[in-house]
Structure 1
Amino acid sequence: MARVKVVTDSTADIPKELLEELDITVVPLNVNFGEDETYTDRETLSPSGFYEKLQKSETMPTTSQPSPYDFETVYRDLEEEDTVIFSIHLSSQLSGTYQAATLGAEEVDTEVEVVDSKRASYAFGIIVTDIARLAKNGADRDECRNRLEHLLQHTTVFFMVDTLEYLEKNGRIGKASALLGSLLKMKPILSLSEEGEVYPYEKVRGRKKAMARIVAELENIYGDQPIQLGMFHAIAADSSETMAADIREKLNVASEVTAEIGAVIGAHVGPGTIAVTITPAQENV
């Protein structure tokens, strides 16, 4: 039976303690402030350090993906007999990371299943941790693949940004571009399409009403079934916890993780963003 190992990239925004517990290998992206300052996501630039720097900088940060060789190196380091690697990554609509991983996988003998999550941040981090936990508990390739396919079909994500400025300037606004110039006091609830592109789910007047609307929609989708809850935010811990408390009250939360949105995703959504992702729970998760 082939042993399963799990690889992801730093935009999954998985807390360090979970990475260590579940033996998840991370390939980092980079964040650039101009031509002379380049930082490695979560290695040389923490989430808190990034937002502090962002607020002081006159330069809009840019991001860059790992090279195919970066992935090839990681896959070679994980090579063992009877091993299959599940390499799960940021939406290909938002980054070339998935394509780089695919090219890297072509250069190694080990079997690598490269997966376009069509999601971002902990919205796919929650999937990565689920599969890694399965693998740690001895699940084989088919069990992991079946669970992965189920999660990709049944994981929900909603998020709110303080401003669309960052999404617009970084070219990641997708179908939400229709909202520009027409918001006034409206607070857009955003999500990711089946193709992995940002789109406006609904417009609500005011942040509190938008948060309540998200919770109501999640309750409508998941009802009483046990769920895994992921809350993630960009220096908006209080708002994130307020929404989490409401979700705990109204949904059947089997497990919960709170994550910080790191520098790469933070460069595209900006400070003040709060997000929630939910996926069906499984036994022993």
Structure 2
Amino acid sequence: MQHQFEILTDSTCDIPLDELDELKVEMVPLHVFVAGGSYHDMVDITSEQFYDKMASTDELPHSSQPSPTAFLDAYNKMADDGAPAVLSIHIATALSGTANSAEIAAKDAKVPVHVWDSRTATVVHGMMVKEACRMRDAGESLEATVTHLDELSVKSTLVFVPDTLENIVKNGRCSRAKGLMSSLLNIKAVLSVQPDGSLEPVGKGRGTERALESLTKVVEGRYGKGAELTATLLTVRNQAGVDEMINILEKHGFVLHVMGTCNAGPVIATHTGAGLIGLGCVPTSALYA
């Protein structure tokens, strides 16, 4: 069946390259800089390779958005391959200028391009890409898909517990976390992406277990007790922490349909550091049927 549109995203969706290939989704990578080297996120360097380099240097890693030219080349290649239109799904503009580069390129593309700001990042960004793929493959229109994604985005949650706030604060991604880092000892912060795409502290706890209890209260406050959620888990070399989070959520009565556990890609890990524990979720009933 001929699709009414094709899909492009950026590397911060944290979907592995082989899975993107299976989904027939094009990807434009961001750039990461670590230990004196420059790499295309997820292309020139894997998550595990990046974690090793990040651990081997005192230099704070950083990232930068793709150029408009990179997006224009990708859009025009998709047009040459037969795409009648493109849905371009990207990390929140509050966190990165990636969508802005895509918007600039879209004006000169050979086919119509709709740039959609996911207003989130990493695993929830990835969930939105996969939802768009389901709708594309079912023959839905670009307009209907965007409308559904807008509705689903409002119902999504991305919440996580970093082992340290150092990378997030120094990279300027959460200014309010600076006070937490400077005033609290042995306190783990709970951070969440807000509806406008910004990153804010939403809880805290002394030690990992209490921080995860605080994370659970955030999810409970959002969806209510016993909610049925479809989730993707997120980590940077902390599977034990992810397992503990799931145990706590299930003890609180949540019904979780886990799509998988994702290693944060280099760009995301640049800002969160090692030890990350995260949860991306949406109400199962809100997904495209």
Q: Structure 1 length normalisation: TM-score? A: 0.91
Return the letter of the residue paired with 1:273. L
Residue in 2 that maps onto 1:135: 136
Structure 2 residue 119 is matched with structure 1 residue 114: no
Return the letter of the residue paired with 2:267. V
1:201 Cα deviation (Å)? 0.4
Partner of residue 262 from structure 1, selected from 261, 265, 269 = 265
CA RMSD of aligned residues (A): 2.1
Partner of residue 234 from structure 1, selected from 233, 236, 240 = 236
Q: Which runs of 5+ in 2 are unaligned?
A: none
Q: Which runs of 5+ in 1 are unaligned?
A: none
1:81 Cα deviation (Å)? 6.1
Return the letter of the residue paired with 1:272. G
- Could you tell me how far apart the structure 2 residues matched to 1:107 and 1:247 are? 47
| C-alpha distance after superposition, 1:95-144 (max 9, x if no partner) | 11111011111111311111122212112111111111221222222321
Residue in 2 that maps onto 1:47: 47
Residue in 2 that maps onto 1:200: 201
**Cα gap change, 1:48 to 1:82, in 2 (>3 Å):** closer
Work out whether residues 188 and 211 of structure 2, in 8 Å CA contact, stay in contact via their aligned partners in 1: yes
Residue in 2 that maps onto 1:98: 99
1:227 Cα deviation (Å)? 2.4
**Cα gap change, 1:24 to 1:241, in 2 (>3 Å):** farther
**Farther-moved stretch of structure 1 (207-216 vs 5-14):** 207-216
| SS of equivalent to 1:3 | coil
**Farther-moved stretch of structure 1 (86-95 vs 264-273):** 86-95
- Could you tell me how far apart the structure 2 residues matched to 1:211 and 1:242 are? 8
- Could you tell me how far apart the structure 2 residues matched to 1:40 and 1:82 are? 25
Return the letter of the residue paired with 1:269. T
- Number of equivalent positions: 284
Structure 2 residue 13 is matched with structure 1 residue 12: yes
Identity %: 30
Work out whether residues 226 and 253 of structure 1, in 8 Å CA contact, stay in contact via their aligned partners in 2: yes
Matches within 5 A, 1:135-284: 135-223=136-224, 224-248=226-250, 250-281=253-284, 282=286
**Farther-moved stretch of structure 1 (53-62 vs 12-21):** 12-21
- Could you tell me how far apart the structure 2 residues matched to 1:245 and 1:284 are? 27
Return the letter of the residue paired with 2:189. P
Q: Structure 2 length normalisation: TM-score? A: 0.90
**Farther-moved stretch of structure 1 (99-108 vs 213-222):** 213-222
